[in-house]
Amino acid sequence: MTTISNRRLARAVTRSLSGGTAIGVALLCATAAHAQQATTANSSELETVIVTGIRASIEESIGLKRDSGSIVEAISAEDIGKLPDTSIADSLSRLPGLTSQRAEGRASAISLRGTDPGFTSALLNGREQVSTGHNRSIEFDQYPSELLSSVLVYKTPDSQLVGQGLAGTIDLRTTRPLDVNNRAIVMNVRGEMNSQDDMGADSDEKGYRASFSYIDQFLDNTLGITFGFARLESPLAIQGAGSYEPWHPNDPNRDNYHPEVANGLYVTDGMKIRADMGKNRRDGAMAAIQWRPSDAYETVLDLYYTKRKQTDNARSLEVNLGNYPMGGGFADPVIADGTIVGGTLLNRVPLARNFLFKTEDEIFATGWNNKWFAGQWTFIADLSYSKAERDEQQYETNGQYVAGGTSNIPDSGFFSLSRHDMPTLRFNMNYADPASVRVGPTIYGAGYSKIPHIEDELKSARFDVIRELDTGWLANIAVGANYSDRSKDKVQPEAGLSTRDNAYFQVNEHLLAPTNLSYANAGRALAWDVMGVLGTYYNPIVYGTPDQRDFAYLVGKNWEVTEKVTTGYLKGELDRELSSNVTLKGNVGLQVVQTEQSSEALRLVNGVAVPFGDGKDYTDVLPALNLAFMLPSEQAVRVGVAKEIARARMDQLKASSEIGYDAGSGQPGGSGGNPRLDPWRAVAYDISYERYFGRNAYLSLAGFYKDLKTYIYSQTIADYDFSELRATLPDDYFNDPTVFIPTTGRFTRPVNGEGGNLKGVELSVALTGELFTDALSGFGTILSVSRTESSITIQDPPNNQFTGGNGLGEIPLPGLSKTVWNATLYYENSGFSARVATRSRSKYIGEVTNFANDRAFKYVKGDQITDAQLGYEFGQGTLRGLALLLQVNNVTNEPYIAYSVSEVRQQDFQQYGRQYLLGVNYRL
């Protein structure tokens, strides 16, 4: 008789309990039973078949899914360092019901079941993680795939899981050294090339990634160590274009009215063709020490560290399409869907703009887990700490055409926008001419700078007690408590930039090769070394902070949010034979979560910034029931019912507000956070049917319904009373203090809504060619499709200097794609492997950072990303352990397109290029 090796099953069990929490008890019971059945089937004659490569990873992932008491998805790397993707975000986006949102060409944020990334929480070895962004959700591209051994995605809650999300929970897991039978040394090197080259200075299409992993056991396999290091140095090569936000109807009551075109046609106030080029370097390291001196005690110390540095040299040709700085017009306008999408431009003043963006992220996480075993009792104590920091430097420098000491020289040209293609923009004068294009006080000033800093810190402690049971309906009972203390701080000094004597300067020694914008028919634009120009031609930068009178507008951009969360839980693991053909597994449990949230910020009082704070305490009782009916012919029906919560984004909980008066109308306005927000709350219902065909094939059909009790949305109050805030403005805010000052205006902040639902269905299939005919041996496919809908809509406020809205009106929930599908076709035989994988998502509302570094809603067009891979592994001889790999990512160079309501009103169009990788993997 031939059976799968029990080694995989043992590893699955140990991993499930090794992360500092007992989150894998469901897997423990089911897996142990499965292993026992496999062993007793023929204990006298057992042949072990070891499968490696793509098929092994699929088999282990399917095994984790099948043996779980909850509804889960899984990723497993059978061999250390074998996950082929750049980051774990790419791998996650291939799972049923999961997809990713791209940032600068990288899969970063993960959406589960078509929802906003904020609905999905992330754990590392069972522990909640900090993040480097404004939100609590992590950026998954900061976690190298080479340092992770497996991932479990919980689609239904598990009462032992702390820090769960409303859509689901993603648990990233690193290797446990005593789970590996012997020493392992793995080295991986891949060269990288991007298809988008010749973009100008600082454009380098080449990069590489390398990793090293070491695992070993000592003292008769009682002491194990593991260490891993991974480096990624990837080129940044973005060919982009965009329009000013928001698009608006042509209105005779606006300053930027165009009398030459019909009233009501939608227009944009500006366009830019911008190329981004630079480097993204990410260094990641992990280590673990595992000691098991006896059957009664085990301890594990985890360490994880990652550091990312990105340099982005962004250079553009940009033009204001309103009536600034002089009256300009459209000739021969092209109209589509009530929108001016092309035509000749008259009397415009283009700019050559050079930006430098530097970002440095650093994440450190550590945990110490201890287990004591006393007969049927298990005691677990866990301490953990994690911290994340992000430092950004943003420099904007501007140049425009200057001739004979005269600036603001008008030019004419043409532009064109379409639904699917790169916009075009062209002018008659040469904006790459260093003798004519000079830095200085352009129509947008000489420049601007910001240096935001974000710090996120989390400390937690946990204790669990598990009691194994021999009879009845329950296999075990677990009880425990977790306490976490988290704080997130943001500060953002800013400064306007000016040239010496407010003069124009010709760039000489800091001149670089012109930026190639021909991909948008924009020719070339002048490029310079931003730091060199700042040091030579600009006045020293003096950053302002909110406590300074002239920088009162920064008050709303500085805040601190603190959360103290106490979680207690009780859980029973179900294991009952209902009949000779049906076994009931699963779990039933309860969490009690007590949250203390608060925020500290600044507010202006008579022009002086003073600290203040606000917050709220609340308690949630969260029951969860997961029933798994194991039926004949390897079938399973799973049912889940639970109460779920998702806490508000950190930047929504800030106490600060940005408040001011429009200098023209005198109308007050503002936007801010709300430290008194309740979380999203829902009662969730899940059901799934699964049919397995051996170890590497299955069919699954699942449905879910979330009855939302509370949700969070941005509310704009049109007649908000600002009278109490009049004293917060400086006394000299108005030149004429006797003028009448309105006391009501628009104010936007997040609030709680009630009611609504989120529902969907998922179908996933994994098949192998052997199921149909031996001629297809080695072939396989994994297919999945999900459909998600919600009854909730929210309002996007009109754009003004306070809200940053795009005026989209009534929009769906941010992040919700109605349709998501994934398809993978692979072949593996005699060391040769091939894979083609495609992931797709339909359009959605993205909440992305705009030019002002504020978050704004945009429609994001659906995309379809295809990756391909070829590999060969030597199985014997002197080259045994050596594997060769060729990858092409983003095969079709799929663009990222954001727009406003109608697809012709493009706001962002970015192409990231194809990514080619060639490398070797060697295991000793």
In angstroms, the CA 889 to CA 109 distance is: 18
Question: Where do we find the tokens 């003043």?
Answer: 349
Which are the contacts of 548, defined by CB distance < 8 A and separation ≥ 6? none
pLDDT band of residue 31 (cuts 50, 70, 90) is: very low
> What's the pLDDT tens digit per position in 337-368?
999 999 999 999 999 999 999 999 999 999 99
pLDDT of res. 141: 84
What is the pLDDT averaged over residues 442-456?
Answer: 96
- pLDDT at residue 526 tops 90: yes
Spatial CA neighbour of 597 closest among 623, 571, 640, 562: 562
What is the pLDDT averaged over residues 686-711?
Answer: 94
204 in Cβ contact with 923 (< 8 Å): no
In angstroms, the CA 387 to CA 364 distance is: 5
Both tokens of 837, joined, read 């994988």
Both tokens of 624, joined, read 């969860």
Q: Classify residue 126 as left (phi > 0), alpha (psi -120 to 50) or beta.
A: left
881 in Cβ contact with 164 (< 8 Å): no
pLDDT band of residue 137 (cuts 50, 70, 90) is: confident
Both tokens of 75, joined, read 């990723």
Which are the contacts of 218, defined by CB distance < 8 A and separation ≥ 6? 224, 225
Whole-Å CA distances, 716 to 693, 745, 803, 857: 54, 10, 9, 14
Position with higher pLDDT, 48 vs 600: 600
- Dihedral (CA of 426, 432, 437, 442) sign: positive
Least confident of 426-440, 633-647, 804-818: 804-818
In angstroms, the CA 811 to CA 788 distance is: 15
* AA letter at 548: Q
Spatial CA neighbour of 762 closest among 170, 173, 171, 168: 168
Spatial CA neighbour of 857 closest among 422, 245, 341: 245
733 in Cβ contact with 661 (< 8 Å): yes
Spatial CA neighbour of 121 closest among 78, 80, 162: 162
- pLDDT at residue 115 tops 90: no
> What's the pLDDT tens digit per position in 185-237?
999 999 999 999 889 888 889 999 999 999 999 999 999 999 999 999 999 99
Which are the contacts of 86, defined by CB distance < 8 A and separation ≥ 6? 106, 107, 141, 145, 209, 232, 234, 889
- pLDDT at residue 46 tops 80: no
- pLDDT at residue 584 tops 50: yes
pLDDT of res. 53: 66
Which are the contacts of 765, defined by CB distance < 8 A and separation ≥ 6? 698, 699, 700, 781, 782, 783, 784
Spatial CA neighbour of 54 closest among 876, 916, 871: 871
Q: Write out the H or E segment, with its range, that includes residue 632.
A: none
In angstroms, the CA 82 to CA 144 distance is: 12
Q: Which residues of 168-202 are buried (b: 16+ CB within 10 A; e: fewer)?
A: bbbbbbbbbbbbbeeebebbbebebbbebeebbbb
Q: Strands, DSSP E only, in 156-296? A: 168-173, 184-194, 206-218, 223-243, 248-249, 266-267, 270-294
According to the per-residue pLDDT averaged within each range, which of 360-364, 672-676, 854-858, 864-868 is highest?
Answer: 360-364
pLDDT band of residue 794 (cuts 50, 70, 90) is: confident
What is the pLDDT averaged over residues 52-80?
Answer: 79
Which are the contacts of 64, defined by CB distance < 8 A and separation ≥ 6? 12, 27, 72, 74, 76, 150, 152
- Return the HEC string of 257-312: CCCCCCCCCEECCEEEEEEEEEEEEEEEEEEEEEEEEECCEEEEEEEEEEEEEEEE
Tally of CB atoms within 10 A around 734: 14
pLDDT band of residue 180 (cuts 50, 70, 90) is: confident
Spatial CA neighbour of 667 closest among 749, 738, 722: 722
How far does the chain reach from its first CA to its final CA, in angstroms?
Answer: 31
In angstroms, the CA 712 to CA 754 distance is: 9
Both tokens of 491, joined, read 């500060």
pLDDT of res. 665: 64
Give the rounded distance of the alpha carbon of 736 from its chain centre.
48
In angstroms, the CA 105 to CA 475 distance is: 47
Give the rounded distance of the alpha carbon of 335 from its chain centre.
36
pLDDT band of residue 727 (cuts 50, 70, 90) is: very low
In angstroms, the CA 380 to CA 396 distance is: 53
895 in Cβ contact with 909 (< 8 Å): yes
Question: Where do we find the tokens 């007590």?
Answer: 594
pLDDT of res. 55: 79
- pLDDT at residue 79 tops 60: no
The most distant pair of C-alpha atoms in the chain lies apart, rounded to whole Å, by 99
In angstroms, the CA 497 to CA 447 distance is: 5
pLDDT band of residue 5 (cuts 50, 70, 90) is: very low
pLDDT band of residue 853 (cuts 50, 70, 90) is: low
Position with higher pLDDT, 671 vs 789: 789
- pLDDT at residue 123 tops 90: yes
841 in Cβ contact with 812 (< 8 Å): no
- Dihedral (CA of 137, 141, 143, 148) sign: positive
pLDDT band of residue 41 (cuts 50, 70, 90) is: very low
**Radius of gyration (Cα) for the chain, nearest Å?**
29
In angstroms, the CA 328 to CA 429 distance is: 17
Could you give phi then psi for residue 556, rounded to 5 degrees?
Answer: -75, -10
Q: Classify residue 690 as left (phi > 0), alpha (psi -120 to 50) or beta.
A: beta
In angstroms, the CA 71 to CA 63 distance is: 13
**Percent of the chain topping pLDDT 90:** 65
Spatial CA neighbour of 829 closest among 879, 776, 783, 887: 776
pLDDT band of residue 81 (cuts 50, 70, 90) is: low
pLDDT of res. 281: 95
pLDDT of res. 83: 57
106 in Cβ contact with 146 (< 8 Å): no
- pLDDT at residue 553 tops 80: no
pLDDT of res. 69: 85
pLDDT band of residue 564 (cuts 50, 70, 90) is: very high
